[in-house]
């Protein structure tokens, strides 16, 4: 079996669901269930004996050790992270604790576990660390896309904390020989995405008749990757990636944020027309940009394609239509995640930003 950390969050839950759809190999799912971790994401696995959910923290060394001892996983996939740039600006300490200290404590327990494995179990063990393209910093419009050899230049507390975790994983390989793999992925989108991020926020606000807040001029460029494509890439890296290597995972879909918002509005115009027959684009408002907002991310995913034969199955057009349709069909899930804490966060983040 495998151990997945952060497996109730957006990407982690999609990975667990995808993994158990592709294989019968069991999953131990360790998640602390912060605001972004949601057991409802995993409702389809209720009663499935292959899925063992454990409510807990990767920084809880005693708990992690007990899970490793009891279940003897052949691999650990670390999705657990605080991951929202805006939240890291308002409160960076949680990011330091989870992404740096938590990763360190997890690595320590995994190192001790791996050192006690024997023969094939030791040789075949892997620790796969899931990171982000934001560790590389920001690109100008004409610079080439990030490759695995780009130097780290993080610009937010979030990306700095993830960069630190990446360096720890690298150090544990080079110092202790721990068989690690690291992936750096571009912006994900798809089902179960918590509605503080761009695409789900636009969908949720549009349907509620609220403004669609666009930071600055909306020309910040991101590379967009459908979440199930990301899941298939991680499976492939775990299966055949070279120990100690980094693999960038991208969708080859560079688009400005404003284009994304326009696309979402057009799809909603088609799939859920406003009562007054007007376009959802009329709800777009421009708000003050966030501090230190990176202008452009772009992933060169050539290495994973050349070495491991992986490339995304979804185009942006197919992926975004699936995403919008999912939110339209899962309004109960949307309503359930919009708790009082969520509403307070949105009000705090966007208060006073309108321009």
Catalytic amino acids? 133-134, 158
CB under 8 Å to 340, separation ≥6 — which residues? none
Alpha-carbon distance of 57 to 346, in angstroms, equals 26
Q: Give DSSP secondary structure letters for 266-335.
A: HHHHHHS--TT---GGGGEEEEPPPTT---B--B--HHHHHHH----S--HHHHHHHHHHHHHH-HHHHH
Task: State the Cα angle at 79 between 74 and 80, rounded to 5°.
Answer: 115
305 token code pair: 């394609």
How does strand 254-256 pair with strand 221-226? antiparallel
Give the H or E element holding residue 262: helix 257-271
Q: Give DSSP secondary structure letters for 204-218.
A: HHHHTT--EEEETTS
Distance (Å) of CA 242 to CA 124, 237, 252: 12, 8, 23
Alpha-carbon distance of 214 to 208, in angstroms, equals 17
CB under 8 Å to 206, separation ≥6 — which residues? 212, 264, 265, 268, 280, 283
- Hey, which residues does 287 pair with through a beta bridge? 215, 354
104 token code pair: 């360190």
Alpha-carbon distance of 64 to 110, in angstroms, equals 8
- Hey, which residues does 223 pair with through a beta bridge? 254
User: Does residue 171 sit in helix, strand or coil?
Assistant: helix
The number of angstroms, rounded, from the C-alpha of 224 to the middle of its chain's C-alpha atoms is 12
Alpha-carbon distance of 1 to 75, in angstroms, equals 8
């Amino acid at each position: 079996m495998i151990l997945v950390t952060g497996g109730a969050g957006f990407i982690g839950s999609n990975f667990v669901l995808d993994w158990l759809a592709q294989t019968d190999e069991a999953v131990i799912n360790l998640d602390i269930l912060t605001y972004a971790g949601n057991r409802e994401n995993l409702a389809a696995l209720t009663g499935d004996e292959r899925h063992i959910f454990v409510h807990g923290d990767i920084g809880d060394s005693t708990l992690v050790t007990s899970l490793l001892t009891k279940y003897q996983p052949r691999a650990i996939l670390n999705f657990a992270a605080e991951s929202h740039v805006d939240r890291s600006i308002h409160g960076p300490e949680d990011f330091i604790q989870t992404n740096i200290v938590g990763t360190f404590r997890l690595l320590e327990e995994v190192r001790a576990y791996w050192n006690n494995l024997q023969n094939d179990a030791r040789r075949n063990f892997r620790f796969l660390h899931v990171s982000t393209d934001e560790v590389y910093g920001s690109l100008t419009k004409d610079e080439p896309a990030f490759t695995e050899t780009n130097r780290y230049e993080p610009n937010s507390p979030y990306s700095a904390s993830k960069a630190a975790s990446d360096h720890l994983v690298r150090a544990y390989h080079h110092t202790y020989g721990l068989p690690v793999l690291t992936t750096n992925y571009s912006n994900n989108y798809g089902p179960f995405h918590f509605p503080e991020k761009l695409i789900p926020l636009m969908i949720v606000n549009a349907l509620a008749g609220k403004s669609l807040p666009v930071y600055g001029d909306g020309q910040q460029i991101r590379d967009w990757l459908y979440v199930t494509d990301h899941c298939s890439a991680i499976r492939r890296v775990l299966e055949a990636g070279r120990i100690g290597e980094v693999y960038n995972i991208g969708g080859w879909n560079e688009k400005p944020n404003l284009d994304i918002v326009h696309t979402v509005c057009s799809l909603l115009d088609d799939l859920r027309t406003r009562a007054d027959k007007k376009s959802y684009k009329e709800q777009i408002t421009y708000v003050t940009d966030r501090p230190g907002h990176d202008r452009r991310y772009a992933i060169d995913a050539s290495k994973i394609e050349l070495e491991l034969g992986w490339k995304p199955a979804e185009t942006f057009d197919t992926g975004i239509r699936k995403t919008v349709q999912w939110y339209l069909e899962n309004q109960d899930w949307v309503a359930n995640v919009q708790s009082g804490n969520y509403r307070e966060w949105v009000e705090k983040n966007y208060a006073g930003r309108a321009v």
